[in-house]
Amino acid sequence: MKFGTKVIHAGIKPDESTGAIMTPIFQTSTYVQSAPGEHKGYEYARTQNPTRTVLEKNVAELENGKYGISFGSGMAATDTIAKLLKPGDEIIASNDIYGGTYRLFREVYGPYGIKSKFIDMENVADVKSAITENTKMIWVETPTNPMLNIVDLAAVGELTKGTDMIFCVDNTFATPYLQRPLDLGADLIIHSATKYLSGHSDVVSGIIVCKDDELGEQLYFLQNAAGAVPGPQDCFLVLRGIKTLAIRMDRHGENAEAVAKFLITHDKVDEVFWPGFESHPNHEIAKSQMLNFGGMVSFNLKEDTLEAAKKILTGTSLFALAESLGGVESLIGHPATMTHASIPQEDRIKTGCVDSLIRLSIGIEDEEDLIADLKKALDA
């Protein structure tokens, strides 16, 4: 099955009892047993839920994985992965990363004795030299949030192959339509399904995918033991969103290209961060590991002040000022004060996340309207 067919059919069958073509929302907390321990594979809804099972199978197939383990948010998925580690273990993560992931590793797991090192991963030699005998996890975001740097997944896969390090990729920005990290050597994929997978800004959800039996078993154990599971209605919404993932990502990518090419011509704009530009430091790697360059574009202003950024952030009409990304509607955000405020200013600025940096989640509206909206805000 090709990808555009898989999003609609993988892991999904009409409901056996009614023929309903859409996966029913099994809004139940428990299941009746015919005798103690005799049941239909479902005992208690923290442990299993049929709507959730379909979502987990579907996303596992989209990522070319074997196991899908879903959660109530992307952060709950990340938290579950961190629970695979023990005191003394070390995580090496991209220094340009979603602020909440940074906060979780540093502020929640740091006090439990799990160290995290945040490094620039654009050059994989730097990842190699950061590895110590305590390194147990390499955590990659690519494209990164918010600078849209690209990390060479196959090269990191070579580094971790045959070692006890877990190579985890946050594939939220790319989605399995654009990039499939398990094929390039990753052990785990995590998604904030809140974003492109669901695609309509109406649900908070997360999922992990892996191929390895032992990791799959450990993660299902943690999902049930710690219980940060998604509700069935949220699973239904993510499943429904995924059906249009391929066509949405094509349009997000085309619109992002048009917006990036417009921004680069504007006098007030200093740099535009979009992996599709030939001048992007890892453009060739992006081209080789992604189908298109995704729907995110960041840019900074020649006048690098919060005040200058605020004028743009409050000057658009179609682009709504809001956290999050990956929905059909376009959003404009200010990483320094919004999504990345939990990263200390000094560390943030080093990665390029300066006060005038503006992040756009490009929706699937008509590109002319998006460009006109940005032009109006920039010209004002």
Residues near ligand P1T, by CB under 6 A: 73-75, 98, 100-101, 141, 145, 170, 172, 192, 194, 204, 206, 323-325, 339
Q: Which is nearer to ligand P1T, 108 or 261 (CB)?
A: 108
The one catalytic residue among 79, 152, 170, 234 = 170
CB of 357 to ligand P1T, least distance (A): 13
CB of 339 to ligand P1T, least distance (A): 4
Q: Taking the CB of residue 229, how many other CB atoms lie within 10 A of it?
A: 21
The one catalytic residue among 31, 42, 46, 117 = 46
CB of 194 to ligand P1T, least distance (A): 4
Q: Which is nearer to ligand P1T, 67 or 105 (CB)?
A: 105
CB of 195 to ligand P1T, least distance (A): 6
The one catalytic residue among 98, 102, 109, 196 = 98
Active site residue 46: yes
Edge-first strand order for the sheet with 115-119 is 67-71, 206-210, 188-192, 166-170, 135-141, 90-94, 115-119
Active site residue 120: no
Give the pair of three-digit tokens for residue 192.
């904030």
Terminal alpha carbon distance of the chain: 50
The one catalytic residue among 6, 180, 195, 348 = 195
Buried b (16+ CB within 10 A) or exposed e, 320-353: eeeeebbbeebbbbbbbebbbeebeeeebeebbb
Q: Which is nearer to ligand P1T, 232 or 333 (CB)?
A: 333
Q: Which is nearer to ligand P1T, 28 or 342 (CB)?
A: 342
| Residue 70 β-bridge partners | 207
Buried b (16+ CB within 10 A) or exposed e, 129-163: ebbeeebbbbbbbbbbbbbbbbbbbebbbebbeee
Q: Which is nearer to ligand P1T, 67 or 196 (CB)?
A: 196
Compute the distance between CA of residue 45 and CA of residue 22 in angstroms, rounded to an integer: 20
Q: Which residue's Cβ lies closest to ligand P1T? A: 74
CB of 127 to ligand P1T, least distance (A): 18
**Nearest-5° Cα angle at 189, 14 to 102:** 130
Q: Taking the CB of residue 186, how many other CB atoms lie within 10 A of it?
A: 26
- What residues are annotated to the active site? 46, 98, 170, 195
